[in-house]
Amino acid sequence: MTRELPPLMSARAFEAAARHLSFQGAAEELHVTPSAISHRVRSLEGFLGVALFRRNHRGVALTAKGHAYLSKLQLAFDHIALATAEVREGKLRGRFALGATSAFISRWMLPRLKRFSAMFPGISLDLRALVGPVDFPKQDLDMAITMGPKDWIGLCADRLMSSPLFTICSPGVGESLIHPSDLRQQTLLHYDQGESWSRWLQAAGVEMNSSAGPRFNDCNLLLQAAAEGHGVGLSFTALAEREFREGLLITPFDLRVLPDAWYYVISPAAPAELPTAVAIREWILQEAKADVARLVPLPSTSRHVVA
């Protein structure tokens, strides 16, 4: 049977643009211009005979057909990556040190540890919880996952997630939240390495002191405080997924904002080209892509809508 495949460069452009929800972000990842991404996406839409994006003055959003195609396309890319890793498996050996915050390790890496071991049976992974800036020589790391972008001179950096920020609280606290202005009577919870409340409150049209409230240097502590009813915080779906699934957290308002900072996977430029580093980086990025198809659009757990 003859396979009718789409133009692969166009398919790759669409996948990147859909993951970033941005032609600019896809262009930066694939080292081409945004107009080239736009041209390739339109070529793919012409080939398929359907619209994959809705375009407006604020950017792009996936259509229903686009969401469906993205999930299947990512699955196909995952199979290609798996086949490639299996062929290269014999060359991937040794110990590999990966640093990230304790919350990211416990909530994102550990649930994927069995898949990592199955993919790379010859690699012994060292997971190291980091507090503060990444220092590769001092911390003896091969790779790190951290917030950015920053001025990473001499480092290879890829954006890992494009998840929006939204409000989180316990169901009990959520009972008293009908409109965002009700946050004036609540305690705001802050994460030192996360986004400040000011942008979300501005988008919601609420004027209040956005800096008051307890601060946490560990996202695990913020999520626990929110689940125990100590206030309202901001989070990504990928980190709070466990509490949402267990009903410990809800998002009281539908408003979501794109953060100024994102998670990046970074490593020193020269070692980043070694086969083990390349394979692990590709695996991490593929896992993050799978989150897009699974978690976007986010399931609404809120009971109230921002007016």
More confident call, 6 vs 241: 6
In a domain, 34, yes or no: yes
Confidence at 77, pLDDT banded by 50, 70, 90: confident
pLDDT for res 303 = 37
The two structure tokens encoding residue 275: 């086969």
Evaluate whether residue 25 is within a structural domain: yes
Q: Which residue has the tokens 């994006």?
A: 53
148 C-beta neighbours (distance < 10 Å), count: 18
pLDDT higher than threshold 50 for residue 29: yes
Which of 31, 63, 84 finishes a domain? 84
pLDDT at 97 over 80: yes
Total of domains in the chain:
3
**Pairing between β-strand 94-100 and β-strand 123-129 as defined by DSSP bridges:** parallel
Chosen domain end from 84, 113, 132: 84
Same domain, 204 and 191: yes
Same domain, 229 and 209: yes
* Candidate ranges 23-27, 82-86, 269-273; pick with highest mean pLDDT: 23-27
Query: Per the domain annotation, does 253 fall within a domain?
Result: no
Q: How far apart are CA 131 and CA 192, in angstroms?
A: 11
Distance CA 215, CA 28 (A): 34
Domain span holding position 110: 92-162+261-295
Query: Is residue 62 packed enough to be buried (19+ CB in 10 Å), middle (13-18) or exposed (0-12)?
Result: buried
Statement to judge: residues 14 and 59 lie in one domain = yes
Kindly state whether residue 256 falls inside one of the protein's structural domains. Answer: no
277 and 289 both lie in a single domain: yes
Average pLDDT of span 5-19: 90
| Whether 120 contacts 92, CB under 8 Å | yes
Q: Are residues 140 and 284 in the same domain?
A: yes
Residue 146 near residue 100, CB atoms below 8 Å: yes
Asked whether residue 250 is domain-assigned, the answer is: no
Q: Is residue 255 part of a domain?
A: no
Q: How far is the C-alpha of 130 from the C-alpha of 85, rounded, in Å?
A: 28
> Domain check: are 119 and 152 in the same one?
yes
Residues 72, 134 within the same domain? no
Q: Would you place residue 305 in the very low, low, confident or very high pLDDT band (cuts 50, 70, 90)?
A: very low
pLDDT confidence of residue 194: 67
Q: Is 301 within a domain? A: no
Of 84, 104, 131, the one marking the end of a domain is: 84
CATH code: domain of residue 218:
3.40.190.10
| CB within 8 Å of 67: residues ≥ 6 apart | 293, 296, 297
CATH number at residue 51: 1.10.10.10
192 and 58, same domain (yes or no)? no
216 and 270 within one domain: no
Q: Are residues 180 and 66 in the same domain?
A: no
Q: Residue 55's pLDDT is what?
A: 87
Please check whether residues 136 and 274 belong to one and the same domain.
Answer: yes
Structure pTM?
A: 0.63
Question: What span, in angstroms and rounded, lies between the C-alpha atoms of 48 and 25?
Answer: 23
Q: Give the tens place of pLDDT for each residue, 254-281.
A: 888 877 778 899 998 878 888 888 899 9
239 and 171 share one domain: yes
Q: Is residue 217 one of the residues assigned to a domain?
A: yes
